[in-house]
A = this chain, B = another copy of it.
Amino acid sequence: MATINENFSKLASGYLFPEIARRTALWQKQHPEASVLRLGIGNTTEALSPAVCKALHDKVDLLSHRETYSGYGDEQGDTYLREQLVSYYHQYGVDLDPTEFFVSDGAKSDAANIQEIFSKDNVVAIQDPAYPVYVDSNVVGGRTGRFNPDTLRYEGFVYLASNEENGFVPDPPKQKVDLIYLCSPNNPTGAVATTQQLKAFVDYALENKAVILFDSAYSEYITEEGYPHSIYEIENAKKCAIEINSFSKFSGFTGVRLGWTIVPKELECEDASSGVLNKMWNRRQCTFFNGASNIAQAGGYAALSGEGLRESRALVAYYMENARLIREGLTRAGLTVYGGINSPYIWAKTPNDMPSWDFFDLLLDSCHVVVTPGSGFGPSGEHYIRVSSYGHRENVEKAMQSIEENLHV
C-alpha cells in the first residue's frame, strides 16, 4: 500500500506565481477587452543577445554533424564553462577551482535541491520575506511542523524579519540555527547587504558551524560601489557558504535554463570535514541530474565572454532603466518605495495598510497592472508589493502612466 509524503500537505497554498497567473487569467476572462500590463513575475522580456544567439546556433550546427556531435556531458557541467566561471569570479577577487562549480538547469532547481544533502534535523533560518522556494523545499524536506494560518509561519523555521527598521537586511539570528538562506541583492525587497552585514552572517556561521546558502542570482544588478557580488568576497566564507547563481536574469536565460552552484572544497560543518560537502553535492548531481543542456551551456559561455559579457550587461542596464522609471512612477503615485537601485525589484508599501492581495486585486482591477503581493513571500511581506522591472520599456511606461492616473491612494 503506497503512501504519500505527508510533508506536501503542510504546504500552505499553491505556489505563489501560479496563483498570480490564475487570478490574472480569471480577471482577463472577465475583461477580455482589457490589456493587462505584467510587472509580476520576474520574467525577462528582451531578446537574447547577438553573441549568445550566435553561440547557440553554432552549437546546434555542431550537433547536426556526427563528427562534432556530443551526447551526455559531465553532470557537473562542461569543463570549458566551469573554467570560464572561475575567470568570471576573478573580477571580484574570488579564486575558486573549476571542481567547485556545478552547472545546472537553473538557480531554482539548485536552491530547492541543496537542502537534500543536509540532515532533516537542521534548523533553518530564512529571511522574511524570501523567495518561496527556500521555504517550500524545506517543508517538503521535512524540516518544519504545520503552517500556522494565524501567524503565517511554519513551526520550526526561524524567520529573520526584513523591515523598514533594519533597511530590509536582518541581523544574524539570536538563537542557534544550522542552515541560513540569504539572498543579496534580495528578492523580493531589492535590498543589498553590505560587506559588514554579510561578514556578520559569516562570523555567525563560523562560530555556530552553520552553513549559509547564498543566492546571488541578482549580483549583476548591483550598480553602486562597495557591495559584495559574491559571498566569497568575505574572508573565510568558503568555510561556511554555498553560493547559487544563474544566467536567467543576467543574460535572459529564464527560458533557456542555466545556472550554477559553488560548493567550496573548504566548506565544512559539524559532521563533515572540508571536501565532504563538495563530494556530497557532486554525488547528488551525478545521481539525480544528467547535466544542463549542452546548447544552453554553449550560450552561457558566450554570455560570460568578451562581447557577450558586454551585451549581458547592456540587458541588465535596460531593465535597471525600467527600475528607475518604476521607482519614480510609484513615488509620484504616492507610494513609499524601496529597492530598484541595486536590484530589478521595487518593494512598495501598500497604501493605508491595505493587505497585499487586496492591493494586488486593486491594481489589477483599476490599473490593469499585475504585481506580486508581498505576503506571498512571507509574513513580513504583508502590506508590501513587489514590482518587477522585467518588461518592455513601453509597457513599463504604460503601467506607470496607468497607476499614476487610476490609483487614488
Contact = CB atoms under 8 A, between A and B. Distances in A.
Interface string A273-302: 000110010011011111111111000000
A121 B1 CA distance: 10
A209 interface: yes
A257 interface: yes
Contacts of A65: 47
A212 B225 CA distance: 56
A120 to B, nearest CB: 8
A87 interface: no
A53 interface: yes
Interface residues of A, number: 85
Contacts of A70: 255
A179 B72 CA distance: 29
A361 to B, nearest CB: 22
A71 B45 contact: yes
A24 interface: no
A140 B47 CA distance: 40
Interface of A: 1-6, 8, 11, 14-15, 18, 41, 43-48, 50, 53, 56-57, 60-61, 63-66, 69-73, 105-106, 108-109, 112-113, 116-122, 132-133, 136-137, 140, 176, 178-179, 208-211, 252, 254-257, 269-272, 276-277, 280, 283-284, 286-296, 390, 392
15 contacts: A1-B208, A2-B209, A3-B271, A4-B272, A4-B276, A6-B119, A44-B71, A46-B69, A71-B255, A109-B288, A133-B288, A136-B287, A254-B290, A255-B291, A293-B293
Contacts of A291: 255, 257
B1 A256 contact: no
